[in-house]
C-alpha cells in the first residue's frame, strides 16, 4: 500500500533563461549528472574526478595557485569561503556599485564586526573598521576611486566585484590590483559573473589574493555543483596566522578533499564532507566543455552577440547603461518609462525569463549566458519587440531588423 501524497510530481517548464543568471546548462553536463552511478565520496573515480576538476579549474582561471578548487553550493558559498579570512576588527575597504557587491559588503561587515558591533545590529552591522565606498549605479569602479580610498585608509583587505551583475558594469580589475599592490592591501574579488565569460587570467593580477565565482553563470553548470575559488599563498599565510571560525567553508580544510594538503598537491583527497558523484561528474564535464571551446573563444562570442542584442534594443529606442558582455541593462523608451516591472512580469509570464534590476533605479536586464547563436538572439529580440508592442510601445521594426541583419550580415561577409 502506498500513501496518497498531497502534491503531484513537480513539473518545471523549459524557459528562455535570458537573465543575468542562471545560464543554460549544456546537455552534455546534464547527461553526465544523470548518468553518473551512485558512488560514495571516497570512491577512487570520484576522488580522481575532483583532482582533475582542480587541474582544469586552474587552467580556466589562469592560475598556478595551489589553493584552487570548488566549494559545494552557489556563488555565495564560494564568496563566504573567500571572506572567511576577514576577522573581527580587520580593516577593510569595500567598493559597492550594485546589488551583488552590496551583499558582499554586508558579508564583509558581518565578518569584520566585533562581537559588540554585531550584537548592536545583528542583521546589518556597521563596524568601525569597514569603509564602504559607494560608487553610483550604472558606473564602474575605477583605478582612481580605489587608489584614493586605499591611500587614505591603508586597509588589510580591499574587495570589489569584478563584474557587478546588478548594474551590468565591468570594474577595473587591473587598476584595483595595482592599487592593492601599491598600498599593501590584500585584494578579494567577486568573480561570480566574469569567470567563463571574460578572457582573463587571475595570475595577471598580483594584488588580488582571493577569488570566488559560481557554478551557474559562465561555467554553465547549474545542477548545484561547485563555486570555483582560488587563493594565493599570501592569503593562506594570512589565514594561518589568524585562523577562522568555520569548518565547512574553511579554505584550508575544504581543500583537503580536492587533494591539497599542507600547501601541496597530493594524489587523492581526504574527507571533508560528502561530495556527490553526480555533482563531480557534471562539474567535470562543464570544465571540459569550457576548455574545449577555450575561454578566449567564449569571451569573443559573448562580445559579438552582446553587440547584436545591444544594437537591436537601441533601435527600439532603449538606452543601454551596461558594459558587460553577458548582460544588457537598459532604460525603456520614454513612453514606457516607469513600466519596467510590468514589462518584465509580462515577459516572464510567457516563460521569457528577463529580469529587473534588484536595487534602485528600476531597469530591465536581458542576459545571454550560453545563448550564443544568431537564432537565439533573434528569438530574444523578437520576443522583446512583441512585449514592448503589447504594452503599447511604438518603434520602427524595420530599424530593429536592419540593426540585427547589419550585425550578423556584416560578420558573415567578413568571414
Ligand atoms: C549571481 C551573483 C552572486 C550570487 O551568486 P549565487 O549563485 O546566486 O549564490 C554574487 N555576486 C555576483 C557578482 C553575482 O553576479
Q: Find the 74 Cα to ligand 1 centroid distance in Å.
A: 8
Q: Find the 16 Cα to ligand 1 centroid distance in Å.
A: 19
Low-confidence ranges of the chain (pLDDT < 70): 411-415
Nearest 5°: CA angle at 114, between 111 and 116? Answer: 130
Q: Is the CB of 21 under 6 A from ligand 1?
A: yes
Supply the pTM of this predicted model. 0.96
Mutate to test the pocket of ligand 1, among 76, 102, 359 (most ligand atoms within 8 A of CB): 76
Q: Is the CB of 216 under 6 A from ligand 1?
A: yes
Q: Find the 76 Cα to ligand 1 centroid distance in Å.
A: 6
pLDDT for the residue 413 = 63
Q: Is the CB of 80 under 6 A from ligand 1?
A: no
Q: Find the 20 Cα to ligand 1 centroid distance in Å.
A: 9
pLDDT for the residue 414 = 61
Q: Which long-range contacts (CB under 8 A, 24 or more apart) does 35-39 make?
A: 35/281, 36/277, 36/278, 36/280, 36/281, 36/282, 37/277, 38/277, 39/277
Mutate to test the pocket of ligand 1, among 19, 22, 100, 369 (most ligand atoms within 8 A of CB): 100
**Among protein residues, the one whose CA lies closest to atom 7 of ligand 1:** 75
Mutate to test the pocket of ligand 1, among 78, 192, 221, 322 (most ligand atoms within 8 A of CB): 192
Q: Is the CB of 100 under 6 A from ligand 1?
A: yes
Q: Is the CB of 311 under 6 A from ligand 1?
A: no
Q: What is the pLDDT of residues 296-311, one digit of tens each?
A: 999 999 999 999 999 9
Q: Find the 237 Cα to ligand 1 centroid distance in Å.
A: 27
Q: Find the 222 Cα to ligand 1 centroid distance in Å.
A: 12
Integer Cα distance of 278 and 260 in angstroms:
22
Cis omega before residue 160 (within 30°)? Answer: no
**Among protein residues, the one whose CA lies closest to atom 9 of ligand 1:** 75
Q: Is the CB of 326 under 6 A from ligand 1?
A: no
Q: Is the CB of 78 under 6 A from ligand 1?
A: no
Sheet order of strands, 92-96 included: 67-72, 226-231, 208-212, 186-190, 157-161, 92-96, 130-134
Nearest-atom number in ligand 1 for the CA of 217 is 1
Nearest 5°: CA angle at 328, between 324 and 330? Answer: 125
Q: Is the CB of 193 under 6 A from ligand 1?
A: yes
Nearest-atom number in ligand 1 for the CA of 161 is 13
Q: Is the CB of 190 under 6 A from ligand 1?
A: yes
Q: Is the CB of 75 under 6 A from ligand 1?
A: yes
Q: Is the CB of 83 under 6 A from ligand 1?
A: no
Q: Is the CB of 140 under 6 A from ligand 1?
A: no
Residue listed under C-alpha cell 546589518 = 124
Q: Is the CB of 74 under 6 A from ligand 1?
A: yes
Amino acid at each position: 500500500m502506498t500513501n496518497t501524497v498531497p502534491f503531484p510530481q513537480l513539473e518545471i517548464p523549459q524557459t528562455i533563461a535570458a537573465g543575468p543568471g542562471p545560464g543554460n546548462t549544456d546537455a552534455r553536463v546534464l547527461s553526465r549528472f544523470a548518468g553518473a552511478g551512485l558512488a560514495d565520496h571516497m570512491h577512487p573515480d570520484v576522488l580522481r574526478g575532483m583532482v582533475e576538476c582542480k587541474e582544469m579549474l586552474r587552467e580556466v582561471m589562469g592560475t598556478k595557485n595551489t589553493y584552487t578548487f570548488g566549494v559545494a553550493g552557489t556563488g555565495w558559498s564560494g564568496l563566504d569561503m573567500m571572506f572567511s579570512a576577514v576577522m573581527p576588527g580587520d580593516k577593510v575597504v569595500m567598493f559597492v556599485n550594485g546589488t551583488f557587491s552590496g551583499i558582499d559588503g554586508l558579508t564583509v561587515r558581518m565578518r569584520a564586526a566585533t562581537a559588540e558591533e554585531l550584537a548592536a545590529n545583528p542583521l546589518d552591522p556597521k563596524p568601525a573598521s569597514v569603509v564602504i565606498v559607494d560608487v553610483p549605479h550604472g558606473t564602474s569602479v575605477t583605478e582612481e576611486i580605489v587608489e584614493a580610498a586605499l591611500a587614505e585608509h591603508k586597509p588589510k583587505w580591499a574587495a570589489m566585484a569584478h563584474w557587478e551583475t546588478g548594474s551590468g558594469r565591468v570594474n577595473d580589475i587591473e587598476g584595483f590590483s595595482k592599487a592593492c599592490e601599491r598600498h599593501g592591501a590584500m585584494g578579494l574579488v567577486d568573480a561570480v559573473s566574469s569567470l567563463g565569460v571574460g578572457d582573463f587570467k587571475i595570475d595577471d593580477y598580483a594584488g588580488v589574493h582571493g577569488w570566488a565565482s559560481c557554478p551557474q553563470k559562465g561555467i554553465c553548470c547549474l545542477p548545484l555543483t561547485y563555486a570555483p575559488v582560488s587563493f594565493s599563498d599570501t592569503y593562506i599565510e594570512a589565514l594561518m596566522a589568524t585562523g577562522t571560525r568555520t569548518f565547512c567553508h574553511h579554505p584550508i580544510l575544504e581543500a583537503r578533499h580536492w587533494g591539497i594538503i599542507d600547501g601541496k598537491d597530493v594524489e587523492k583527497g581526504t574527507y571533508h564532507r560528502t561530495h556527490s558523484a553526480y555533482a563531480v561528474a557534471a562539474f567535470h564535464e562543464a570544465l571540459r566543455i569550457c576548455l574545449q571551446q577555450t575561454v578566449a573563444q567564449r569571451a569573443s562570442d559573448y562580445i559579438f552577440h552582446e553587440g547584436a542584442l545591444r544594437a537591436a534594443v537601441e533601435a527600439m529606442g532603449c538606452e543601454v547603461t551596461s558594459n558587460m558582455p553577458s548582460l544588457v541593462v537598459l532604460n525603456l523608451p520614454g513612453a514606457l518609462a516607469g513600466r519596467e516591472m510590468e514589462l518584465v512580469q509580462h515577459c516572464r509570464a510567457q516563460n521569457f525569463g528577463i529580469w529587473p534590476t534588484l536595487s534602485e533605479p528600476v531597469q530591465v536586464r536581458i542576459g545571454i549566458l550560453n545563448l550564443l547563436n544568431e537564432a537565439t538572439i533573434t528569438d530574444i529580440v523578437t520576443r522583446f519587440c512583441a512585449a514592448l508592442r503589447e504594452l503599447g510601445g511604438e518603434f520602427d521594426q524595420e530599424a530593429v531588423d536592419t540593426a540585427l541583419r547589419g550585425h550578423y550580415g556584416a560578420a558573415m561577409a567578413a568571414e
